[in-house]
């Protein structure tokens, strides 16, 4: 196996546990190496960082696997799947739907796998949706599928939803396909006791945003008797959890007609259509109209507003623009919440730090002359673990404030 040597001045980050080796950090790169090759990475002083998958042209020249194995085979992936399953089984002993593999945090850089358990099936039925965001993983999809089938005999289908723009960095095209098995028209998953209908061959990313699992549970625990507005509702997860927790009413808003159609199906599935309603609406337009209506009648219609927007900053240079976006939606929400009401707000942008988001919310509260009390600090579900040596694995911030 070829060995790549890291220049002396670049070793501290790798020693701290980072898994990416950048091209300009290497002393030399043998011309014979090809994308996807397994290589050994070491320091100039001979410290071994382990096996990595090499890429010929990407800025990330090697992605470490936290192993010294020379062969990245189906057996290697099977062992990693078992380790991932052991952790999730401990974290969620009563649930079978979660992110099974979270890339670097599970020492499988560039690989994401979500497990969806179909509760409607008479026999145990698991469906796996994967993304291979690096060439080294993309070239090993057959081994990954074999490992999944060995670890999960209940596997009915494995789907790739490789529609992420991140694949372009490794010279990969975007594609979606069924890698193995047969996919039904829909499956029914359960999260915190709330049912959702999923079309695994449609929708965004892997089908459902599992990173909000525990934040939705907190909303369920707090929502009794409240009137809840769920902005950017997607498939209605927060609104349905609120009603499951006893909310008197919940309205979910999203600009996507297809998403709202799924929300209504999910409300019916849970027997909540009388209290959980959904409308196709631009969130900012609705919040602005609500603020204008409050000016006229002085009535506040919502006790809790949930803001779960898409990523406003996908790159560091977009942070100033993202701050303006977060400021606007939080300002509008604060205008129409009553004293004693709750603002649940978050960001899924890695480049928007917790301090940045809290600073934006604090400034907007001062602007609107509202006093806030932080009552819950959440984040990404533990099935999206954060690797201490890789800050890139931390991205989701979620707060609940009481207006006092």
Catalytic residues: 348
Sign of the Cα pseudo-torsion (158, 162, 164, 169, in order)? positive
Name the helix (H) or strand (E) containing 76: helix 74-91
In this structure, are residues 64 and 24 in contact, taking their beta carbons and an 8 Å threshold?
no
CA 100 to chain CA centroid, Å, is 12
Interior CA angle at 98 toward 263 and 82, to 5°?
A: 160
310: left (phi over 0), alpha (psi -120 to 50) or beta: beta
Using DSSP's 3-state secondary structure scheme, residue 41 falls into strand
CA 233 to chain CA centroid, Å, is 15
DSSP 160-178: EEE--GGGGGGTPPPEEEE
CA distances to 93, 106, 242, 267 from 385, rounded to whole Å, are 17, 8, 25, 30
Using DSSP's 3-state secondary structure scheme, residue 293 falls into helix
165-186: string of b/e by CB count within 10 Å (b at 16+)?
eebebbebeeeeeeebeebeeb
CA distances to 190, 254, 305, 389 from 403, rounded to whole Å, are 32, 25, 11, 36
Residue 105 burial (CB count, 10 A): 23
CA atoms within a 13 Å half-sphere pointing along the CA-CB vector of 396: 21
């Amino acid at each position: 196996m070829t060995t790549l040597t890291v220049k002396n001045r670049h070793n501290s980050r790798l020693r701290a546990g980072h898994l990416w080796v950048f091209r300009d950090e290497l002393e030399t790169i043998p011309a014979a190496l090809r994308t996807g090759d397994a290589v050994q990475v070491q320091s100039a002083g001979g410290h071994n960082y382990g096996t990595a998958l090499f890429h010929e042209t990407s800025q990330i020249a090697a992605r470490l696997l936290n192993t010294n194995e020379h062969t990245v085979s189906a057996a290697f992936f099977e062992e990693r799947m078992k380790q991932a399953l052991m952790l999730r089984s401990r974290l969620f002993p009563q649930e079978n739907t979660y992110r099974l593999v979270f890339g670097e945090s599970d020492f499988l850089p560039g690989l994401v796998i979500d497990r969806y358990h179909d509760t409607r099936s008479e026999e145990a039925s698991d469906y796996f949706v994967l993304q291979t965001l690096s060439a080294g993983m993309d070239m090993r999809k057959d081994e990954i599928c074999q490992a999944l089938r060995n670890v999960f005999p209940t596997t009915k289908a494995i789907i790739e939803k490789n529609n992420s723009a991140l694949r372009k960095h490794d010279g990969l095209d975007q594609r979606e396909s069924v890698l193995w098995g047969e996919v039904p028209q829909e499956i029914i998953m359960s999260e915190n006791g709330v049912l959702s209908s999923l079309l695994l061959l449609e929708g965004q990313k892997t089908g459902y945003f599992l990173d909000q699992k525990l934040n939705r549970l907190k909303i369920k625990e707090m929502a009794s008797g409240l009137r809840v507005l769920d902005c950017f509702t997607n498939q209605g997860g927060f609104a349905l959890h609120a009603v499951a927790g006893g909310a008197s009413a919940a309205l979910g808003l999203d600009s996507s007609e297809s998403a709202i159609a799924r929300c209504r199906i999910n409300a019916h599935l849970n027997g909540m259509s009388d209290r959980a309603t959904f409308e196709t609406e631009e969130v900012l337009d609705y919040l602005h109209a609500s603020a204008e209506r409050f000016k006229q009648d002085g009535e506040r219609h919502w006790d809790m507003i949930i803001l779960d927007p898409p990523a406003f900053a996908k790159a560091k240079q977009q942070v100033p623009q993202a701050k303006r976006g977060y400021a606007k939606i939080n300002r509008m929400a604060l205008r129409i919440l009553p004293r004693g009401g709750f603002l649940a707000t978050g960001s899924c942008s890695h480049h928007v730090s917790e301090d940045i988001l809290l600073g934006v919310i604090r400034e907007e509260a001062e602007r609107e002359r509202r006093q806030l009390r932080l009552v819950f600090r959440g984040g990404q579900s533990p099935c999206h673990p954060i690797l201490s040596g890789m800050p890139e694995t931390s991205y989701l911030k979620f707060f609940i404030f009481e207006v006092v």
